[in-house]
Amino acid sequence: MSRPEYIPLSDDAARAVAGAASRHAALIEDAFNVLIETPGGGVSINGDAKSRAGAKQVVAALAAQADSGQEVTEADVRVAIGNARSGTGKSPAGGLPSGRRGQVAPRTPGQARYLDSLNKCELVFGLGPAGTGKTFLAVAHGAGLLLRGEVDRLIVSRPAVEAGERLGFLPGDMNEKVDPYMAPVWEALTDIIGAEQLRRRREKGEIEVAPIAFLRGRTLSHAFIIIDEAQNTTRLQMKMVLTRIGEGSRMAVTGDPSQIDLVNAADSGLAHAVGLLEGVQGVGVNRFTVEDVVRHPMVERIVRAYDADAAKSGRAI
């Protein structure tokens, strides 16, 4: 069985979705063949991707109704179910697009909080170990903004070759030099919007993937910008990147502070920037843990083993 997906809700919304004696939840379960649980602070939905997508649309509609101060009745639940089945109403998961494996959606409470920050904040930091969905969810969020016309461009940047960006010695033109370092981003974009749409939007300049150095001297307006592997930016690079934000733009900065490839780990710009900016208006900081690893069960076990060794030895990995 797939891992359940978690949707954070207010207390009123959670009660409305569950209903008296869990009657509303039972109706949603029967309609979409899913399992719904209501732990404190939200709703957990388990089932296949298509079924979860329909159930999440119902949950979102009922939660919005409850949060507006309106009573949610059994009739409202049946209407929401009908809307979800007919394809009307708001899209689930905060407007995230559907990838090749179905609707993109948070699968852990940490991922749900991250997406909430991406929706609310102009600058969001996503920190944590491999396999927690930091980059994939940021790319999905940015792709959704682009597809809906809320931004003109999606720009993804990451340090190339241990943040030194020493690309000149490699064969080929600049795209051929850069693309191997950007492979994880291209894979995520292909999974989310498809190879053909990615090709068309890349040719039109609506999607750009480039190393950090390519951002210097630019003002990035009306764009969603993702800085990936940010633990390998220096403090000066990070300051340069953060000050690229222009009118109508938003930025997500992702990285794993335990995987710094710089010669001097203390020069990493990620931890430095978070320390300076956490608590600043418009800035969201989200820290993922091993509990948010969704890539493969083995990845979670590997991360736990390394964390335990680091704790025992008193040194960072």
- Out of 72-76, 93-97, 239-243, 287-291, least confident range: 93-97
Per-residue pLDDT for 183 more than 90? no
CA dist 120 → 14, 18, 123, 141 (Å): 21, 26, 9, 12
Query: Where is pLDDT greater, at 207 or 209?
Result: 207
User: What are the start and end residues of each CATH 3.40.50.300 domain in the chain?
Assistant: 110-313
- Residue where the block lists tokens 């944590």: 128
CATH superfamily assigned to domain 110-313: P-loop containing nucleotide triphosphate hydrolases (3.40.50.300)
For range 235-256, the mean pLDDT: 95
Judged against a pLDDT cut of 60, whether residue 303 lies above it is answered with yes
**Cα separation of 261 and 106, whole Å?**
29
pLDDT value for 91: 43
Low-confidence winner among 94-103, 115-124, 223-232, 252-261 (lowest mean pLDDT):
94-103
Most confident of 38-47, 199-208, 297-306: 199-208
pLDDT at 164 over 50: no
Question: Is pTM, for the whole model, over 0.85?
Answer: no
Q: Is the pLDDT of residue 246 over 70?
A: yes
Q: Quick one: pLDDT at residue 177?
A: 58
Model confidence at 245: pLDDT above 90: yes
What distance in Å separates the CA atoms of residue 223 and residue 203, rounded to the nearest whole number?
Answer: 16
CATH code at 5-90: 3.30.1370.10
Maximum mean pLDDT: which of 63-72, 171-180, 264-273: 264-273
Q: Pick the closest to residue 120 from 44, 38, 8 (CA basis).
A: 8
For the chain, where do the domains classified as CATH 3.30.1370.10 start and end?
A: 5-90
Count CB-CB contacts under 10 A for residue 109: 17
Query: What is the phi/psi pair of residue 109, to 5°?
Result: -60, -35
- Mapping DSSP onto H, E and C, the string for 28-39 reads HHHHHCCEEECC
CA dist 313 and 71 (Å) reads 55
Task: Please give the Cα distance from 272 to 270 (Å, whole number).
Answer: 5
